[in-house]
């Protein structure tokens, strides 16, 4: 069977491809449609409300720092998130270690954290170890991390952070 490679496309074929190309272009320009927002919710809500006032094993400010981390780094899509915002015992949440009623370690290595570090992390007053290596953290480091004067191990290696180091990090005297 002989194929004619010099044959011109028919008008119907050309019109179909033209319509397909226009629809594809329109879909790319418009993008995905936004998800509906339920009454009482804002489109920026990333996780269900978590009430830190019911937590008794760590101070409310430390609980709120953990919730802020979850929300600002797309916690619903972390690779591992055992216990996070599911129990009122943050010391049992994956990657959290506590001692004497305070968070002392925060270790979420290679866990698909995406977004900026929240300034509330500076409220983890007794933190000794912060390891968020190999995630997708972006933006500048919050100056409030300088409040973490007990941190002796600090790793944000293999992330996408930008900007200068805040001078407040000089207050991390245990490094």
- Largest alpha-carbon pair distance within the chain? 84
- The CATH number covering residue 118 comes to 3.80.10.10
Q: What is the mean pLDDT of residues 29-53?
A: 51
**Which SS3 state, helix, strand or coil, does residue 153 take?**
strand
**Which SS3 state, helix, strand or coil, does residue 73 take?**
coil
Which carries the bigger pLDDT value, residue 119 or residue 18? 119
**Number of domains composing the chain:** 1
Residue-number span of the structural domain to which 75 is assigned: 52-171
Q: Is residue 119 part of a domain?
A: yes
Which carries the bigger pLDDT value, residue 67 or residue 18? 67
Q: Is residue 145 part of a domain?
A: yes
The count of other CB atoms within 10 Å of the CB of residue 102 is 17
Q: Is the pLDDT score of 14 beyond 80?
A: no
């Amino acid at each position: 069977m002989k194929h004619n490679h010099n044959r011109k496309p028919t008008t119907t074929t050309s019109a179909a491809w033209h319509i397909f190309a226009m629809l594809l272009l329109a879909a790319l320009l418009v993008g995905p449609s936004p998800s509906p927002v339920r009454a009482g919710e804002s489109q920026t809500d990333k996780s269900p409300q978590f009430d830190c006032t019911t937590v008794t094993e760590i101070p409310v400010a430390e609980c709120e720092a953990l919730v802020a981390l979850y929300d600002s780094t797309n916690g619903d899509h972390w690779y591992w998130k055992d216990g996070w915002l599911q129990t009122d015992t943050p010391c049992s949440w994956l990657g959290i270690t506590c001692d004497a009623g305070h968070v002392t370690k925060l270790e979420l290595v290679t866990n698909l954290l995406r977004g900026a570090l929240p300034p509330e992390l500076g409220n983890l007053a007794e933190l000794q170890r912060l390891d968020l290596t190999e995630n997708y953290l972006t933006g500048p480091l919050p100056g409030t991390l300088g409040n973490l004067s007990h941190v002796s191990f600090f790793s944000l290696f293999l992330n996408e952070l930008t900007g200068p180091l805040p001078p407040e990090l000089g207050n991390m005297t245990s490094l």
